[in-house]
Amino acid sequence: MRFRFAITMMAMIATMSSSTWAYEESPVTDGGRLVGTVVLEGQVPRPKGYNLITLPDRFYCGRISDGQGWRLLQPFNVGPAGQFRDVVVYLENVEKGKAFSPEQASHIEAKDCQFAPFMTVMREKTDVVVVNMDPVMHDIQAYETSQLGPRMLFNVPLPINAHHPRDLNDRGADAALYHKHQPGEPIRQFVNLTKGRRVFVMQCGFHAYMESWGLAVQNPYYAMTDQDGRFEIGEIPPGTYKMLIWHPYLNGMREETVTIQPNSQVKMDIKIPAPTGRLYANEKAENNYVRYSISDDVLERLAPSLTRQER
């Protein structure tokens, strides 16, 4: 199953420069702080849409669906007042400073036929650990991206915990009643991106709606916006830096210049216009009766038992 990358990613990756120096961890004196908010202005783009009848494990994975036989994937996590959540803010070319924390390791779970988190930040040239919590088979296809196109990093199956029942597919709609999550054997993969590339994406080879994006960074001076669209980066060595604002489905990388004075705080409030037009190949059909030959009987048994998704 092929992953169709957003065309806008290509221009974005070209803006992310590479360097030959290695980040040095050292004590920070008179460090400053960067705080702010990110807001998406305009209409939130429509989600991606995948008809469950065309993909495996439709009953188990259909526990999260819209009630019309569609599994939705909304890449834009936006609050009612435009709070743009899960956006990465990163200071580029900080040569030395605070240490990476253990929490900054990349750990991704396949749970309820979705990868969590949808976006992650990790130190470049380190491992990413993926665990299958589901009773169905998943297959990781990981790619790095650039303006020249994708390149595969790895393609490995995700083991299932041996205590899960093995007959969920045969039980048909009864699979929707199974809600246990037990971890399979973790898969550890070393992410070594080609020089100059910083972004990678994972997709399940069986369930196309399972996506997870990653940004590989050279220093720990980054933050991801919270539920209120806020971010905060502390212990920044005084200096002038390029601030990058990244989301995988934005049209390019937003750049700002920020100067950090000793023992000071800088506030940056960023407003990003919402992208318009069709952003991806997979969209939910406007007409719910376009069911790819799905019968009313099957549709009735595809009623979501965990989460009913909305547009």
Q: pLDDT per position in the chain (311 positions), as tens?
A: 434 434 344 334 444 444 456 899 999 999 999 999 999 999 999 999 998 988 999 999 999 999 888 999 999 999 999 999 999 999 998 999 999 987 656 899 999 999 999 999 998 888 899 999 999 999 999 998 876 778 888 899 999 999 998 777 667 777 888 889 999 999 998 888 887 788 999 999 999 999 999 999 999 999 999 999 999 999 999 999 999 999 999 977 799 999 999 999 999 999 999 999 889 988 776 665 555 566 777 777 788 989 999 86
Average pLDDT of every residue of the chain: 86
How far apart (Å, rounded) are the C-alpha atoms in residues 12 and 27? 33
Q: Are strands 106-110 and 126-132 parallel, antiparallel or unpaired?
A: parallel
Distance CA 242, CA 255 (A): 7
Instruction: Round to whole Å and give the CA distance between 4 and 288.
Output: 23
Which phi and psi (to 5°) does residue 206 adopt? -100, -35
Q: How far apart are CA 123 and CA 120, in angstroms?
A: 10
User: For residue 82, what pLDDT is reported?
Assistant: 97
- Determine contact, residues 245/13, Cβ cutoff 8 Å: no
Helical H runs in the chain? 8-14, 58-61, 296-301
| Predicted pLDDT at 6 | 43
The string over 15-51, giving b where at least 16 C-beta atoms fall within 10 Å of a residue's C-beta and e elsewhere, is ebeeeeeebeeeebeebbebbbbbbbeeebbbbbbbb
Read off the tokens for 13. 């990756």
How high is the pLDDT of residue 9?
43
Nearest alpha-carbon partner for 34 in 251, 206, 190, 241? 241
Query: What value does the CA radius of gyration of the chain take, rounded to a whole number of Å?
Result: 21
pTM over the 0.75 mark? yes
Contact at 8 Å (CB) between 221 and 197? no
Cβ(37)–Cβ(274) below 8 Å? no
- Give 150-193 as a DSSP string: -EEEEEEEEPPPTTS-S-TTTTGGGGGG---------EEEEE-P
| Amino acid code (one letter) for 24 | E
> 3: which residues sit within 8 A by CB, 6+ positions away?
141, 143, 150, 201, 203, 208
Asked if omega into 117 is within 30° of 0 (cis), the reply is yes
Type and span of the H or E element at 96:
strand 96-97
pLDDT digits (tens, 9 = 90+) for 28-77: 999 999 999 999 999 999 999 998 988 999 999 999 999 888 999 999 99
b (16+ CB within 10 A) / e for 154-175: eeeebebbeebeeebeeeebeb
DSSP state of 45: P
